[in-house]
Amino acid sequence: MKSLSIKDIAVKANVSITTVSFIINGKAKEKSISEAVIEKVEKIIAESGYKPNQIARSLRTGNSNIIGLIIEDISNSFFSRIARLIEDKAYKRGYKIIYSSTENSVDKAKELINMFKSRKVDAYIISPIKGIEEDVKMLLEDGNPVIFFDRNLPDINTSYVGADHFNASYQSIQSFIDQGKKNIALVTTDINVEQIVERYDGYKKALEDNGIKYDENLVLKIHFNQEESETISQIKQLLEQKKIDAVLFATNYLAISGLKVLKQINKKIGDDFAIIAYDDHEAFELHTPGISTVQQPLEEIAENVIKLILKQLSSKAKPENQQIIIPAKLIIRD
Amino acid sequence: MKSLSIKDIAVKANVSITTVSFIINGKAKEKSISEAVIEKVEKIIAESGYKPNQIARSLRTGNSNIIGLIIEDISNSFFSRIARLIEDKAYKRGYKIIYSSTENSVDKAKELINMFKSRKVDAYIISPIKGIEEDVKMLLEDGNPVIFFDRNLPDINTSYVGADHFNASYQSIQSFIDQGKKNIALVTTDINVEQIVERYDGYKKALEDNGIKYDENLVLKIHFNQEESETISQIKQLLEQKKIDAVLFATNYLAISGLKVLKQINKKIGDDFAIIAYDDHEAFELHTPGISTVQQPLEEIAENVIKLILKQLSSKAKPENQQIIIPAKLIIRD
């Protein structure tokens, strides 16, 4: 597909070249261009493959056209897939993404924010952890666009995009109960972030609503940064010592460790024993039998993140904050 | 573990605090500190968890302490795992890594180099593609440390770290032949980069050395950026229309598509049909049966990349280029 020029875009949107130019250069609000026109033009730009000449644009606007993305761990396939989607979508709109991992360290997260600040990125997309509230507040006070995704910090007044973890977890447990399961374990991590706590809350509430007594011995909280061999031995202990007929794994890497345990102890998934993994992974579809999974809407999360951040970048006044919570999908396999 | 101070490091290394300080601030060469002392101190620093105060260091040295990492695609688990390793190792030495994906686009790769240049990174770690030679030459002429990894550009005079793809591919095919296989297919990509060409060369040479005629109909070159559904239908066609008793998949994502095809057409891996996947993936160990794989030495590649780049950063004169080729390991499963 040949890229459109500014002129082509103007013709297609039925507006003047000047209007398109104002929108591209983030002056739409200042020039009182209506929301409807902005949306129409941005849609055409996104679909057209048009990429503004960045250097020229940087000179005019003083912007870097770079967005900093801060995630937990790039080797986790949830983050690497969403990073790639965000990167693609931003690039099509003339922005580059640079990213780094916090590894759940508050110190490192603070340093990354400072690094991006010193590199003069235009905006921040952050999967936050507790302890960086003050740093984020400072970014916001300085007028920087900031979007949270995947997890939220309730005390911070900014836009957020994420999946509905409570309901996805609740539905997973409900589906176990509907299959007649009663001794349902949860293997989760000990990191104290909202999206993990919500999965735990959904687990507890579903048991309660079905009159099943919550048993803390069936909840295994794995330490975030430990060796996988340690995780495997803890899951093994849980499965061998407790009477369990179903397990919800709260992350895909925990489910992968769990599948390794099942292979080791030769425990089969079937009528007597079911598992669900939170966050899909290529290994789950290929596994025999296929592993049921909670699929987060990666594409929609990425799309909304980019839309919100571009809206902030093109507005003179800070737009109202939005909390976009997207349902996650329970995929039952085999 | 408590972090060591500069004083602790000096005591441990049996050198003066000033010496440690020179090494940390990249003045070791200028101050004629011996290689042996530099190595000893850097090893203690790496093991100690000591993190230099970056802002103070930046002020003193004028450096950003940021290294730019340019990879092909962060959603490919080979790159996301190696990026995480490089990021960890750099962070322990007081450097941050920011990364971006080229998606095999020459335009995007050039833009990323310019972006990192404008953000004043101290050094570049690049998994290069053909077409960016001039841009890299300019970086080198300006005195920037540049390391290539995973793939090389033979015309460019810089250090390189990667696996021995020719031999790994050769050994994979030899192992098929040793099992009595004769109709051996190669499913690879059409991207024209050295590390993919070497896998193809290894395939051809192993057939030739064993007196098996090369048949171009058994080589499927998948277009890099196509939809997975298209890839799946091409692999399906290959497996259904040709007599094939073994397949080497030249990348892990192609092997994953291949496994989906096998599941669809209900073709079993066993005595009559074998596969090997290039680059390990969590799905392969968990698969029933386990999938044999060529494991690249990720840890060693990351370690050597960081060592070479730090050496360049701490040397006044550019150190001699090194080509570090590390053997890959063929892991036969089940």
- pLDDT above 70: residue A58: no
Same domain, A136 and A201: no
Q: Is the pLDDT of residue A37 over 90?
A: no
A208 burial via Cβ count (<10 Å: 0-12, 13-18, 19+): exposed
What is the rounded distance in angstroms from the CA atom of residue A20 to the CA atom of residue B131? 33
Q: Please report whether residue A55 resides in a domain.
A: no
Residues of B in contact with A99 (CB under 8 A): 74, 98-100
Of A66, A83, A100, the CB nearest to B115: A66
Contact B96 A103 (CB under 8 A): no
Contact A281 B282 (CB under 8 A): yes
Q: Calculate how close chain B gets to A101, using CA atoms only, in Å.
A: 8
SS3 B126: strand
Q: What is the mean pLDDT of residues A259-274?
A: 94
Q: Considering the domain boundaries, does residue B330 fall inside one? A: no
For residues A150 and A184, membership in a common domain is answered with no
- The rounded distance, in Å, linking the Cα atoms of B118 and B112 is 10
Judgement on whether residues B170 and B261 belong to the same structural domain of the protein: yes
Let me know whether A196 and A312 are in one domain: no
| A88 and A204 together in one domain | no
Closest partner residue to A84 (CB to CB) among B75, B81, B285 is B75
pLDDT bin (cut points 50, 70, 90) of residue A269 is very high
Q: Give residue A1's pLDDT.
A: 40
Residues B188 and B279 occupy one common structural domain? yes
| pLDDT of the residue at B51 | 58
Q: Do A97 and B97 touch (CB under 8 A)?
A: no
Q: Which residues of B touch A (CB under 8 A)?
A: 54-55, 64, 66, 73-75, 77, 80-81, 83-84, 87-88, 91, 96-101, 103, 108, 111-112, 114-115, 118-120, 256, 259-260, 263, 281-283, 285-288
Tell whether B72 and B158 lie within a shared domain. yes
User: Is B282 part of a structural domain of the chain?
Assistant: yes
Q: Which structure tokens are listed for B311?
A: 């050496």
Angstroms from A119 CA to nearest CA on chain B: 6
pLDDT score for A55: 46
| Domain containing residue A290 | 165-295
Output the pLDDT for position B319: 84
Backbone φ and ψ of A67, nearest 5°: -115, 130
* Predicted ipTM beyond 0.95: no
Out of B81, B115, B263, whose CB is closest to A286?
A: B263
Determine whether the interchain pair B75/A83 forms a contact, defined as Cβ–Cβ distance below 8 Å: yes
Domain count for chain B: 3
Cβ separation of B87 and A74 shorter than 8 Å?
yes
Task: Clarify whether residues B191 and B268 are in a common domain.
Answer: yes
Q: Which residues of A touch B (CB under 8 A)?
A: 54-55, 64, 66, 73-75, 77, 80-81, 83-84, 87-88, 91, 96-101, 103, 108, 111-112, 114-115, 118-120, 256, 259-260, 263, 281-283, 285-288
Question: Would the pLDDT of A59 be above 70?
Answer: no
CA-based nearest residue to A277, from A255, A306, A302: A255
Q: Which residues of A touch B120 (CB under 8 A)?
A: 119
For residue A50, name the pLDDT band (cuts at 50, 70, 90): low
CB contact under 8 A, A119 and B263: no
Does some domain include residue B1?
no
Which chain A residues are within 8 Å of B281, Cβ to Cβ? 282-283
Angle at A281 between CA A277 and CA A283, to 5 degrees: 100
Q: Which of B64, B114, B283 sits opposite A282 (nearest CB)?
A: B283
Cis peptide before A289 (omega within 30 of 0): yes
* Residues in chain A closer than 8 A to B283 (CB atoms): 281-283, 286-287
- B109: nearest Cα among B72, B152, B80: B72
* B27 contacts: CB under 8 Å, gap ≥ 6: none
Mean pLDDT of chain A: 90
Q: Are residues A77 and A46 in the same domain?
A: no
Is residue A148 a contact partner of residue A135, using CB atoms and an 8 Å limit?
no
Q: What are phi and psi of A163, to 5 degrees?
A: -90, 160
Does residue A229 surpass a pLDDT of 70?
yes
Same structural domain for residues B285 and B174? yes
Closest Cα in chain A, distance from residue B36 (Å): 31
Q: Nearest by CB to A100, which of B97, B259, B285? A: B97
Taking chain B (334 residues) in runs of 10, the rounded mean pLDDT of each run is 70 86 76 83 74 52 86 92 94 92 93 92 94 95 94 91 96 97 96 89 97 96 92 96 96 95 94 94 91 95 95 84 95 90
Alpha carbon of B133: minimum distance to chain A alpha carbons (Å): 21
- Kindly report the nearest CA distance between residue B206 and chain A, in angstroms: 30
- Residue A112, CA atoms < 13 Å, CB-side half-sphere: 30
Contact yes or no for B286 and A256 at CB 8 A = yes
Q: What is the CA radius of gyration of chain A?
A: 23
CB B101 to CB A115 under 8 A? Answer: no
Contact B119 A98 (CB under 8 A): yes
- Flag whether pLDDT at A124 surpasses 90: yes
Is B58 part of a structural domain of the chain? no
Is position A56 within any domain? no
Which residue, among A111, A105, A68, has the nearest Cα to B58 in the 3D structure?
Answer: A111
Q: What is the nearest CA distance from B289 to chain A, expressed in angstroms?
A: 9
* Nearby residues of A8 by Cβ (< 8 Å), 6 or more positions away: A48, A50
- In this structure, what token pair is assigned to residue B208? 């030739």
The two three-digit tokens of residue A38, written as one number: 């902005």
Nearest CA in chain A to B78: A75
Check residues A40 and B277 and name the one with the higher pLDDT.
B277
Q: Which of B65, B79, B87, B268 to mutate to test the interface with A (most CBs of A within 10 A)?
A: B87
Give the CATH number of the domain where residue A94 resides. Answer: 3.40.50.2300
| Residues A326 and A304 sit within 8 Å (Cβ to Cβ) | yes
Other residues' Cβ atoms within 10 Å of the Cβ of residue A111:
20
User: Do residue B288 and residue B169 come from a single domain?
Assistant: yes
Q: Identify whether residues A197 and A228 lie together within a single domain.
A: yes
Nearest to residue B270, comparing CAs of B250, B246, B300?
B246
Q: For the purposes of burial, counting CB atoms within 10 Å of the CB of A324, is it exposed (0-12), middle (13-18) or buried (19 or more)?
A: middle
CB contact under 8 A, A111 and B119: no
Chain B partners within 8 Å of A113 (Cβ): none
Judge whether A1 lies within some domain.
no
Whether B55 is covered by a domain: the verdict is no
